[in-house]
Structure 1
């Protein structure tokens, strides 16, 4: 037949199974030869070992008998001449890796698992061929010894310091991606010599030899190390939170790769569980990075909006990391009160980010440039105050670096009108709108749509000439071309980028409230972890820390989320989460206290703390806080909002014995100023009496 396959003649000394193995792919070892390895002669074993090493160098999991980089056996056999060419089922067959170019080509394929080697307790070496991905769960310290990798949008090159990476259960798992790097025109031997020299200060001789056996051009060598921080130790000290950082495998695997990763504290995950961006998101990221690196039109202002749980925060982190790979710093304006990124919940803040963000919000709490404590996770009850706070914080933006603005996920009804007000107020150059078929739809926020819609406090383009503003401050943001003609307002245009999101959603309509509550509690725990000493010192329970003593007449009080009678103010303050603020008014001169404010001020918030107790005899507040003493000297106002202390802090601290203070089932949650069903206040302290069950919490107060 014309298209028949002609097999070459073999000598009589060739065994049957050896001829069958030769006809198969050079990188596949079937089960039959593996069962008959003991019958091989030493030369056959040597040949087989050499081919297995070639397979491992290409990153092939030969133990599973699966390979995607080998050429089909039918294509390697000589074919008879045919009248017309027939297209091959494989467009570009890849030969076995026998040269530097062939090895680099094989590395580009999507193979099953990269080579991993355990270097010792808590250390492992990972070899990633170019375009290879490694998705994992857990926490570790990542160092690129040779080549270049990308983690969550941030590029880590050789010679850069190690990065702490947190791939946790509450977010999409992170992926270490080997990217293409520029390689000088050198021979393969010279490249290996250069890589061996760089590895000399990190690995011993045996580990360097293993690396060179599996090394190929354009391959990246990554060092993974076990990571323990005071924040991690503090969070996992509470029952039920250790699963966030590392989930145990249901089945124990006795292989070298699993054991090496387990010693580091991570576990390999399927690629589909990792972070996946759509093509529209990648195109938008590329364009935003390109615009931010240009200095022609000034610094871009990027506003990210969309419904709940479509990946706004994930997109912001990836964009920040991508920008930090090219520029030195990025500004970030947080307008989402419920799920804040760098501060505890209930805040509007402006930050200057200079380090990559490689984890969830509760692992990178930072000090903002400007922050105002709103006191609630939603602005539904006071839109005007929310707008005023954003204006106050946004006024500190110096326009020296790109600005990313995060908005709320409430984009229906009045939430949409409020978003239109923010777009007019902040005048972004780019609006990134994320949407998903699984979430509620919102209209496309084109410039024409925003110009033609009335917001809560601003009018549309056609109604501006009437100057029907409900807030006088908004009139300053409009510039008329001709006052006499009363021509319509010419708004500063922006570019709309629509992104279709396909993130993995762990939240549903049923568990969204509880899921968000857990995330907020973790953020508060992450903030309080700053009270702990650095590793390896042991943890200090919060009830054992020495609090600050603040006189009644040194600070003013205000309950932001409810109207509380003056006789109940101290009930609401005790065992509460308080914002440490600085107001312009001078509170000195009052001999007695407490000093109560009639209205909630818009003022700078320097940090947060826990009012651990109130001493009515000495007229003192006992407050524990990680805010440094130099900042505490300027604090003259305490704001108490609806953000409550996590239940775990009150019930699950180490060292507590007997009755837990401030926790009771006999409590009326409908009292004005009550922040929730947990964290109930006990009244014995206000009468100047200290019962034994309260002494434990106050053992170092005096």
Structure 2
């Protein structure tokens, strides 16, 4: 932890000098190996030297990065790196009155307030309330609202530690400055595989972050529909990253380059559609991204940033696989490997040291003839300190974070109003959509006259088609939606998922649909297909977090609990009232 003599508040002219917004900020002069551990949020700018953050090396540049550190995840630690000739280059000139303070420092950084509103998600999803706030005994005040440096150890927090095998694997995959040009321009495809709760997603995010320090663009293919990194759950997506992202997945939900909606937290309901979606995204990467420079899409190559010395002529790919590695899951992942043809496979062994189930399947002859490197990694078991934040809770937080986000390109959340009080889009589905599609177990049994009831309060995906639909289902008697029973979802090779939303209500008489979504009007106007999957809106999306305990006991929004739509209190009643449980364990354990 740096001493108080190296903490210098910035004035308004100082912040303008560094191109920062006019919010409280502090400059820190750090010696090598000095660390800063904190809870909360901040904006980080490296002015001189370099620092390590979550396994990513950041050197002096004009770019600043939002950093999120909630107690629900491992706490990030900023570590100053020893000065080197390359890191000593003065990319950003310091004002003269800072030179004396920073003369002997190995690294100089600026921390600034980040007023994102992310703390409000704890009110929307109560299990996460206060995750950005420590106890008063473990922090001190640096004058930055929402940022609490930790000055003592606390059992309740889990610090982030980078295993040695992870660091060596990343260093071996990411090209270095001293490498020859032909080595830097090689096509790199990394697939991260292993069992759930082994650290796959954390490693994949760290690898992608480090790659962004060498490449202008890095592709990230998300194949884990249950624990997605940059989207809400239920999607397989291809992202193009241009900078590192520091924080849990719910803090950096991005608009994907292209995505497809599976509609479930697992591909087991429709494995063929899952594989087709991944195949389509891999084709998009190879044809449109991998060897096409970013400025090729611009009107003029002169629009490329001449000051950016990172590699621009090739785009590496990081593939984050799912943690289902037994039975059907193992076979699906073997087919994903065949489709992806990775140059490197980063493999997590099981926690008990047993053989990875994926190794029990023989690769195809075409796959066996390809060169690949398999790099073993040590798993990092989940900390018992974080056990209360289960996967279903994190999925619910991801959905609510997405629905409360302020929109694409911003790091802001609006949580002042619950979903039930937000102003929705009024949509005429007869004009807006060519198709309404239901997917998932039991979807084929929904008759046209009941589809409006199914969509009420539903989490849905908005899908754009590359070409207009050849067949538009006719409106049936009793409803006005273009729905056809047992219709398959659009082909991933001719469509893309724009994002998710909530059908807050559908009026069968007027035919109007009220929709809530963070998508803007330009994107929403492209959606021609509405898809409802197996995933449902979390219970927190139906509640009003503004209510007091007394108000909550009476009802919701002035309506008694017994009359609140979509919610049933005290258990379901009647035949068929309970949710059907689908049995899929058709093979004996000995057959796996």
| Class of the TM-score when normalised by the shorter of the 2 chains | 0.7 to 0.9
- In structure 2, how many angstroms separate the alpha carbons of the residues matched to 1:521 and 1:179? 38
Aligned to 2:62: 160
1:231-253 Cα offsets, whole Å, 9 max, x none, are 4445545545332222324x377
Counting only pairs closer than 5 Å after superposition, residues 27-426 of structure 1 correspond to structure 2 as 116=7, 122-183=24-85, 198-200=94-96, 208=98, 212=100, 215=102, 217-234=104-121, 236=123, 239-249=126-136, 251=137, 258-260=140-142, 263=145, 265-268=147-150, 270=153, 273-290=158-175, 295-296=182-183, 298-398=186-286, 399-400=290-291, 401-426=315-340
Aligned to 2:424: 547
- In structure 1, how many angstroms separate the alpha carbons of the residues matched to 2:36 and 2:2? 14
C-alpha contact 2:462 2:498 (8 A) present in aligned 1: yes
- In structure 2, how many angstroms separate the alpha carbons of the residues matched to 1:402 and 1:180? 29
Work out which of the residue numbers 519, 530, 535 in structure 2 matches 1:638. 530
Identify if the C-alpha distance between structure 1 residues 591 and 434 changes in structure 2 by more than 3 Å, giving closer, same or farther. Answer: closer
Counting only pairs closer than 5 Å after superposition, residues 448-487 of structure 1 correspond to structure 2 as 453-454=361-362, 460-461=364-365, 478=366
Instruction: Compute the displacement of 1:114 (Å).
Output: 9.4
Identify if the C-alpha distance between structure 1 residues 420 and 534 changes in structure 2 by more than 3 Å, giving closer, same or farther. Answer: closer
- In structure 2, how many angstroms separate the alpha carbons of the residues matched to 1:306 and 1:333? 16
1:244 aligns to what SS in structure 2?
coil
1:257-287 Cα offsets, whole Å, 9 max, x none, are x222775522316499432222221111001
Q: Tell me the TM-score normalized by structure 1.
A: 0.65
Work out which of the residue numbers 518, 521, 531 in structure 2 matches 1:626. 518
Aligned to 1:557: 436
- In structure 1, how many angstroms separate the alpha carbons of the residues matched to 2:413 and 2:2? 40
Aligned to 1:585: 469
C-alpha contact 1:134 1:177 (8 A) present in aligned 2: yes
Identify if the C-alpha distance between structure 1 residues 195 and 315 changes in structure 2 by more than 3 Å, giving closer, same or farther. Answer: closer
Give structure 1 stretches of 5+ with no counterpart.
Answer: 1-58, 62-112, 462-477, 479-488, 677-702
1:602-624 Cα offsets, whole Å, 9 max, x none, are 34211111001011111122111
Instruction: Compute the displacement of 1:503 (Å).
Output: 5.7
Identify if the C-alpha distance between structure 1 residues 171 and 332 changes in structure 2 by more than 3 Å, giving closer, same or farther. Answer: same
Q: Could you say what the CA RMSD is over the residues aligned between the two structures, in angstroms?
A: 3.7
C-alpha contact 1:129 1:216 (8 A) present in aligned 2: no
Identify if the C-alpha distance between structure 1 residues 641 and 585 changes in structure 2 by more than 3 Å, giving closer, same or farther. Answer: same
Instruction: Compute the displacement of 1:295 (Å).
Output: 4.0
Identify if the C-alpha distance between structure 1 residues 671 and 129 changes in structure 2 by more than 3 Å, giving closer, same or farther. Answer: farther
Instruction: Compute the displacement of 1:431 (Å).
Output: 0.3
C-alpha contact 1:553 1:594 (8 A) present in aligned 2: yes
Instruction: Compute the displacement of 1:671 (Å).
Output: 5.1
Identify if the C-alpha distance between structure 1 residues 373 and 506 changes in structure 2 by more than 3 Å, giving closer, same or farther. Answer: farther
C-alpha contact 1:333 1:404 (8 A) present in aligned 2: yes
C-alpha contact 1:273 1:504 (8 A) present in aligned 2: no
- In structure 2, how many angstroms separate the alpha carbons of the residues matched to 1:627 and 1:174? 31
- In structure 2, how many angstroms separate the alpha carbons of the residues matched to 1:672 and 1:185? 64
C-alpha contact 1:507 1:515 (8 A) present in aligned 2: no
Aligned to 2:541: 649
Identify if the C-alpha distance between structure 1 residues 518 and 618 changes in structure 2 by more than 3 Å, giving closer, same or farther. Answer: same
Aligned to 2:558: 658
Instruction: Compute the displacement of 1:646 (Å).
Output: 2.1
C-alpha contact 1:230 1:535 (8 A) present in aligned 2: yes
- In structure 1, how many angstroms separate the alpha carbons of the residues matched to 2:516 and 2:580? 19
Identify if the C-alpha distance between structure 1 residues 632 and 674 changes in structure 2 by more than 3 Å, giving closer, same or farther. Answer: farther
Work out which of the residue numbers 428, 444, 455 in structure 1 matches 2:342. 428
C-alpha contact 1:291 1:300 (8 A) present in aligned 2: no
C-alpha contact 1:229 1:535 (8 A) present in aligned 2: yes
C-alpha contact 1:375 1:643 (8 A) present in aligned 2: yes
Work out which of the residue numbers 514, 517, 522 in structure 1 matches 2:397. 522
1:247 aligns to what SS in structure 2?
coil
Work out which of the residue numbers 476, 492, 500 in structure 1 matches 2:370. 492
C-alpha contact 1:345 1:520 (8 A) present in aligned 2: yes
Moved more, 220-229 or 543-552: 543-552
Instruction: Compute the displacement of 1:347 (Å).
Output: 0.7
Q: Tell me the TM-score normalized by structure 2.
A: 0.76
- In structure 2, how many angstroms separate the alpha carbons of the residues matched to 1:152 and 1:317? 10
C-alpha contact 2:475 2:483 (8 A) present in aligned 1: no
> Bigger radius of gyration, 1 or 2?
1
- In structure 2, how many angstroms separate the alpha carbons of the residues matched to 1:232 and 1:498? 37
- In structure 2, how many angstroms separate the alpha carbons of the residues matched to 1:641 and 1:114? 57
C-alpha contact 1:301 1:429 (8 A) present in aligned 2: yes
C-alpha contact 1:235 1:525 (8 A) present in aligned 2: no
- In structure 2, how many angstroms separate the alpha carbons of the residues matched to 1:443 and 1:552? 48
- In structure 2, how many angstroms separate the alpha carbons of the residues matched to 1:185 and 1:352? 27
2:369 aligns to what SS in structure 1?
coil
Aligned to 1:100: none
Count of aligned pairs between the two proteins: 508
- In structure 1, how many angstroms separate the alpha carbons of the residues matched to 2:113 and 2:211? 28
- In structure 1, how many angstroms separate the alpha carbons of the residues matched to 2:501 and 2:71? 28
Identify if the C-alpha distance between structure 1 residues 669 and 571 changes in structure 2 by more than 3 Å, giving closer, same or farther. Answer: farther
Aligned to 1:575: 457
Structure 1 residue 667 corresponds to structure 2 residue 546: no
C-alpha contact 1:276 1:503 (8 A) present in aligned 2: no
- In structure 2, how many angstroms separate the alpha carbons of the residues matched to 1:620 and 1:654? 28
1:325-374 Cα offsets, whole Å, 9 max, x none, are 11111001111010001111011111111121111111111111211100
Instruction: Compute the displacement of 1:323 (Å).
Output: 1.0
Identify if the C-alpha distance between structure 1 residues 626 and 673 changes in structure 2 by more than 3 Å, giving closer, same or farther. Answer: farther
- In structure 2, how many angstroms separate the alpha carbons of the residues matched to 1:274 and 1:497? 25
- In structure 1, how many angstroms separate the alpha carbons of the residues matched to 2:243 and 2:149? 25
Identify if the C-alpha distance between structure 1 residues 354 and 133 changes in structure 2 by more than 3 Å, giving closer, same or farther. Answer: same
